[in-house]
Amino acid sequence: MIGATVEGDPDVIISSPAKIEEAGPGSITFLANPAYEHHLYNTRASAVLVSLDFTPREAISPTLLRVADVYGTVSNLLAVYQQDEAAQTRRAVSAHAAVEHTVQLGDNVRVGKFSVVEDGASIGKGTVILDQVYVGPNVSIGKNCVVYPGVRILRDCVVGDDCILHANVVIGGDGFGFAPDPETGRYNKVPQIGNVVIHDRVEIGASTTIDRATMGSTVIRSGVKLDNLIQVAHNVEIGENTVIAALAGIAGSAKIGKNCRIGGQVGIGGHCTLADGTQVQAQSGVINNITKPGAKLGGSPHMHYPDYLRSYAVFKHLPSVVAKLKKEIAELRSQIVK
Amino acid sequence: MIGATVEGDPDVIISSPAKIEEAGPGSITFLANPAYEHHLYNTRASAVLVSLDFTPREAISPTLLRVADVYGTVSNLLAVYQQDEAAQTRRAVSAHAAVEHTVQLGDNVRVGKFSVVEDGASIGKGTVILDQVYVGPNVSIGKNCVVYPGVRILRDCVVGDDCILHANVVIGGDGFGFAPDPETGRYNKVPQIGNVVIHDRVEIGASTTIDRATMGSTVIRSGVKLDNLIQVAHNVEIGENTVIAALAGIAGSAKIGKNCRIGGQVGIGGHCTLADGTQVQAQSGVINNITKPGAKLGGSPHMHYPDYLRSYAVFKHLPSVVAKLKKEIAELRSQIVK
Amino acid sequence: MIGATVEGDPDVIISSPAKIEEAGPGSITFLANPAYEHHLYNTRASAVLVSLDFTPREAISPTLLRVADVYGTVSNLLAVYQQDEAAQTRRAVSAHAAVEHTVQLGDNVRVGKFSVVEDGASIGKGTVILDQVYVGPNVSIGKNCVVYPGVRILRDCVVGDDCILHANVVIGGDGFGFAPDPETGRYNKVPQIGNVVIHDRVEIGASTTIDRATMGSTVIRSGVKLDNLIQVAHNVEIGENTVIAALAGIAGSAKIGKNCRIGGQVGIGGHCTLADGTQVQAQSGVINNITKPGAKLGGSPHMHYPDYLRSYAVFKHLPSVVAKLKKEIAELRSQIVK
């Protein structure tokens, strides 16, 4: 099934996957990160996936299964054991849901309890809307999506095929746009008449919020993966297969390229454009355009990340660095005076 | 309608607003940020709003409409086109809502599906409570508010007039108060018996949380605008017309003045007082009182923001700055020895 | 009732607690933080709790009540006045709730309106599930918990006894796990088949998210207190009585010890282990293992916090520090030339 080379007992029986430090008899585990190698020599697992070129330093009791791509194989194995809410929702449209008559539902669409689907919305075949979800007027959701409890998709927003929206995600809240009144100091709301467009195979983590555009669309392109509690502001665009970690904030009208990797708690400034493949270290702040693809950024405001680490290495000892320079200058001065 | 000075074809017909880079024939767009000026010379828009003193560098095909306040005019135009969930909710109190008998509802109040309004609550005239909202016991909401799906307003909290609460906002969760037991290392909960009081014209972004006071009230004054995913802790007070960007955290008992501007991911320390007009740069941390109005702060811990940028400019080249100083000292030393 | 030593009128009548700056006749207040002492000499409170060794600098009109532990006494007093949603929910299982037939409910369990409890779930005696809550398939919740509106507890997760989950908390969203496909740049989802296990006396703030483990469990041990809007990633473990402030992010597989104190907006890197009693300053980033118990950390990347402050003190004046060194070197050079 996984195309592995077997070392050890080929008749061992496997019943479930487990972490290497918790695995017991009958379980299969894996070793990919060398930091966990010491667990290999104590594990009670019946089988362990390792890479083709792994050389153990000690004797090993479980059967070794060598594969080219350990993580990929684990992922495939886990899929066999997976049982999620979607699979456990047997009903079509719950009697406790409120689906308006003008809604278009594809084949095998399921809508959970206390969920609302408003006028003009359409939901593609095979999509599962779990309980307590809000699908606003004229929202369009594609095929084979899973929408977890408490998700809110507001008027006119569009979600593609094969997307996963985790619990309490908010799509299409108003952008944060206000025009100051210079006389009173008050802020007047700028109406937000755009929408959010999410392409295919996008996964969005719990409680992440994506605001609608002032005009036009906030756009999340195919294959983007967003972690939990991320803020995506109005008119942002995020390119294909870009991955963003939790608690990052993307300010208004920022344009992030393809295949970027944005760390946790990063801030991207308003109107900034990031080239494809940009990597931003956790907790950094990007404040202007990044034009060179593949740049690695760190610091707030951002700089080249390796340079940030070099500067920070000096910063760590800054009092003694400065004291030593002062002392050397003082010594020279005393020698000159002499 | 907008009092503009017209340059070009005065008979052009406009059907909708659009962004300058996406505008087509029949649309009106605007130019306010000079970074977008190059789009002006290629846009297919039929009309463009510009400021009174704007001087184009190239020939322009659309009709120019000169106004004193470009953003303000855009905002007014957008309002004409706006169609929000509130406008699309036609019902009064949904048959799918659960509104207790003791609740007081003003004229034209609408309550959406699967929303709950508990005993003793009151809702002022013209307010729209959308679907799946929780209005707890004894909550008071003023006139002409819009409360989006999934908002939770817990017991005893007060919301003024003309407020907008976006999806999944939580008002009145318990403050984070615990008394450590020195013997066991456990924390005992300090009951949180206060509430949250939100004044008029406040807008609160999706999934922002505002905790109730331990005693007394957490207070959000008139005209405050909070972005998404902000944490406002117990007993905080935020002054009139202060604006706070996403993912900021305001710790317990902090008092923020009027007309402040707080950037994204900023942290304000517990019990800190910020004078009116304080501006805090994104990702900074304020750790004590700011007494001078209008201060500009940056860094963590905070310092005067321009000073932060000057220090950071040296930090960026710190290894070479130190190396150069060392080299110069070494040269002097060798000259002295000679 | 509180074992206080009374100074002043022992017959004063108290009706409610209040903050010292807002207290009026009939109220009892307290002074614990010296920064608030000036309010003591103006307060209209009828009684004030102070510590045994407090010495007033001016005359005081209210009755003084001296106690060993001011905060602990306040906490006990507040509990007398507390009236929360749980206490105000009189029903057993609401007629508006959807509770599957296979669910096991202990004595006195209450389930609110539009809440869902799915197949195979169990809820221990005395637990209050408020309105619009989702309890997924096979979830287990212990005794005497309070689950606020909008909480989502997804399939197979476990909550212990005496826990409080605030509004819109999400327990058991999928961990953020993807295997990159090197050929296409796409990310394939790694199924997340583990769960979340929350032990006893845990309190979790509004809109905090805790992801399920890839395999095994994400574990929150007894007495942990999490503030609002915190991200806890898959396979994290948090030790007993650890306290974490708002907007912190704990990356995958991090192991945090007992009795740690983690500040707001802190980031803990993936796979990092923190020893018991570690203290992390707000907005810091921990990027590798902390093996010494009780360490105090600050900065991003982290360093010893007092060292961070010392380095930062030099950073604040870095341009003038460097300029002064350059000037001294230049002076020496001119003296040598002479």
More confident residue, A208 or A89: A208
C264 touches chain A (CB under 8 A): no
Q: Give the neighbours of chain B: at least 3 Cβ pairs within 8 Å.
A: A, C
Which of A21, A48, A82 terminates a domain? The answer is A82
* Backbone phi and psi for residue C131, each to the nearest 5 degrees, phi listed first: -75, 155
pLDDT of residue A84: 59
Tally the C-alpha atoms within 13 A of residue B162's C-alpha that lie toward its C-beta.
9
Contact (CB, 8 A) for C214 and C175: yes
| Site from A171, A178, A215, A308 to mutate, B interface, most B CB atoms within 10 angstroms | A215
- Indicate the pLDDT class of residue C90, thresholds 50, 70 and 90: low
- Indicate the pLDDT class of residue B27, thresholds 50, 70 and 90: confident
CATH of residue B73's domain is 3.40.1390.10
- Indicate the pLDDT class of residue B338, thresholds 50, 70 and 90: low
pLDDT at A86 over 70: no
Which of helix, strand or coil describes residue C328? Answer: helix
A37 and A98 belong to one structural domain: no
- Tell me whether the omega of the peptide bond preceding residue B301 falls within 30 degrees of 0, making it cis: yes
State the average pLDDT over residues A147-158.
98
CA dihedral A207, A213, A217, A222 (to 10 degrees): -20
CATH of residue B290's domain is 2.160.10.10
Is B151 part of a structural domain of the chain? yes
C100 touches chain A (CB under 8 A): no
C153 and C300 belong to one structural domain: yes
Worst-scoring range by mean pLDDT, A148-152, B318-322, C151-155, C331-335?
A: C331-335
The C residues from 306 to 335 touching A (CB cutoff 8 Å) are 307, 310-311, 313-315, 321, 325, 328-329, 332, 335
Is C87 part of a structural domain of the chain? no
Residue A32: partners with Cβ closer than 8 Å, 6 or more residues away: A51, A70, A71, A74
| Chain C, nearest residue to A314 by Cα | C311
Q: What domain range includes position C76? A: 5-82
ipTM here: 0.87
Nearest by CB to residue A152, choosing from B149, B259, B315, is: B149
- Going by C-alpha positions, the residue among B55, B21, B18 that lies closest to residue B38 is B21
A190 and A143 belong to one structural domain: yes
Is C116 part of a structural domain of the chain? yes
Nearest by CB to residue B186, choosing from C18, C241, C317, is: C241
- Going by C-alpha positions, the residue among C2, C136, C131 that lies closest to residue C72 is C2
C273 touches chain B (CB under 8 A): no
**Which amino acid type is present at position A206?**
A
A330 and A212 belong to one structural domain: no
Is A87 part of a structural domain of the chain? no
Is C270 part of a structural domain of the chain? yes
C191-235 confidence digits (pLDDT tens): 999 999 999 999 999 999 999 999 999 999 999 999 999 999 999
C246 and C106 belong to one structural domain: yes
Is B322 part of a structural domain of the chain? yes
Burial tier of A40 (Cβ tally within 10 Å: 0-12, 13-18, 19+): buried
State the average pLDDT over residues B195-223.
97
Which helix H or strand E contains A285, and what residues bound it?
strand A285-286
Cβ-defined contact of A229 to C215 (cutoff 8 Å): no
CB atoms within 10 A of CB A295: 18
pLDDT of residue A75: 82
List beta partners, residue C47: C28, C63
B55 and B106 belong to one structural domain: no
pLDDT at A222 over 70: yes
Nearest by CB to residue B134, choosing from C22, C69, C150, is: C150
Contact (CB, 8 A) for C202 and C224: yes
C249 and C333 belong to one structural domain: no
A42 and A152 belong to one structural domain: no
Residue B229: partners with Cβ closer than 8 Å, 6 or more residues away: A207, A209, A229, A231, A249, B205, B206, B207, B208, B246, B247, C207, C229
pLDDT of residue A77: 82
B258-280 confidence digits (pLDDT tens): 999 999 999 999 999 999 999 99
A262-294 confidence digits (pLDDT tens): 999 999 999 999 999 999 999 999 999 999 999
C214 touches chain A (CB under 8 A): yes
Catalytic option among B234, B271, B304, B317? B234
- Going by C-alpha positions, the residue among A80, A286, C228, C253 that lies closest to residue B250 is C228
- Indicate the pLDDT class of residue B60, thresholds 50, 70 and 90: confident
C184 and C39 belong to one structural domain: no
Number of structural domains found in chain A = 3
B144 and B112 belong to one structural domain: yes
More confident residue, B97 or A23: B97
Is C323 part of a structural domain of the chain? yes
A132 touches chain C (CB under 8 A): yes
B261 touches chain A (CB under 8 A): no
A110 and A231 belong to one structural domain: yes
Which of A51, A82, A113 terminates a domain? The answer is A82
C193 and C213 belong to one structural domain: yes
Which of helix, strand or coil describes residue B135? Answer: strand
C234 assigned to active site: yes
